[in-house]
Amino acid sequence: MKMEKKNVVVGFRPDGSRVSLPIIRICGDKGPSLFISMTVHGNEITGHKSIWYLLDHLKRSELRGLITIVSLVNADSFNYAIRGFPYSALDLNRMFPGDIKGSLPDRVVAEVWKIASKSNFILDLHTAGACIPFILIHPAGSSIRDFIREVAISSGLTPIYNYDSDLYSRIGLDMSLTGMAVRSNVPALTIELPGLIGIDKLGAKAGFIAIKNILIQLNMVNGKEEKINFFPAIKGKNLKRMRVLSEVPGLLDYKVGLGDEVEEGQVLTIIRNLLGDVVGDARSPKRGYIIQLNGFSRVFTGGKVATLAIEMGS
């Protein structure tokens, strides 16, 4: 097994400093190619520790195939711990496949896509704040749909299908890395780990185990799939995610926790104003499971208070 680490320059800032992609390539015997990307959103860094675990594990394993890791897609937002590109607030994960002759954000995205699109499988690591770790399945064509689902289940994380098609397109997920990949018939999955600004250590461990399990499923390393038993896991195989929004702004006083099963109409959170008065609540629109809460414990009008995993077709 050979490991190569390098930085690929994509462009320059006004002060002349380089904007580059740090790339790790681990090459083993003949086999499939896996692409892993992280931190397209600069405040989502739990996956870095997952990769540290992975690199240590690979030193003790026999790898078949090639793993290519872009460990930092959005360097500028990473430096300031923000989601979007600093001077424009663009979301790079809504810009794929990018434009190699376009703006600097376009060029960053295009370089990532050039590498990723040549792979046999793509994993994109994100964090979702206060959440259980889960793996997102994007809408894919029939030729790769079952394979993607099989790999998602093998990860040991809760597999969740993405939002309904109207919301999925409206918020630009079809132009995310994994959304664009499946549209291009390249199998891909998004891993969502816990973490707000810093690294969630337990979430990172779950991410590592999920990646290791996927490598085993892809026949890239030997071993037995490991269970992730230190987070709540939802056993359903036909779940999709659904946002719960609030019409009432204020501070959130939750009555449920991560992994809880909730009924339609159940109060998820009481909402209070700054004087401590109850000004409203937010209720579950469907029966389902809590996979994400608003970790900032405050909400604007129309803001998200939770994400549910609900049965497909409900």
- pLDDT (tens digit, 9 = 90+) per residue, 160-211? 999 999 999 999 999 999 999 999 999 999 999 999 889 999 999 999 999 9
Question: Comparing C-alpha atoms, which of 118, 138, 127 is closest to residue 41?
Answer: 127
Place of tokens 């004087």: 275
For 251, the 3-state DSSP assignment is strand
- pTM reported for the whole predicted model: 0.96
| 294 CA to centre of own chain | 16
pLDDT at site 197 = 83
CA distances 133 to 69, 93, 99, 130, 203, Å, are: 20, 20, 32, 9, 7
For 174, the 3-state DSSP assignment is helix
Query: Would the pLDDT of 122 be above 90?
Result: yes
CB 186 within 8 A of CB 96: no
Q: 239-311 adopts what CATH topology?
A: OB fold (Dihydrolipoamide Acetyltransferase, E2P) (2.40.50)
Pick left, alpha or beta for residue 198 (phi over 0 → left; psi -120 to 50 → alpha; otherwise beta).
Answer: beta
4 Cβ neighbours under 8 A, 6+ residues apart: 24, 25, 27
Percent helix, strand, coil in the chain, to 5, is 25, 35, 40
Query: Would the pLDDT of 237 be above 80?
Result: no
Instruction: Tell me which of 45-49, 156-160, 233-237, 275-279 is least confident.
Output: 233-237
Query: Would the pLDDT of 235 be above 80?
Result: no
Residues of the chain with CATH 3.40.630.10: 2-217
Query: Would the pLDDT of 87 be above 90?
Result: no
* Average pLDDT of the chain to the nearest whole number: 96
Residues of the chain with CATH 2.40.50.100: 239-311
* CATH number, domain 2-217, options 3.40.630.10, 3.30.70.20, 1.10.1740.10, 3.30.420.40: 3.40.630.10
C-beta pairs of 269-277 under 8 Å, 24+ apart in sequence: 269/305, 269/306, 271/246, 271/299, 274/250
Residue type at 308 in one-letter notation: L
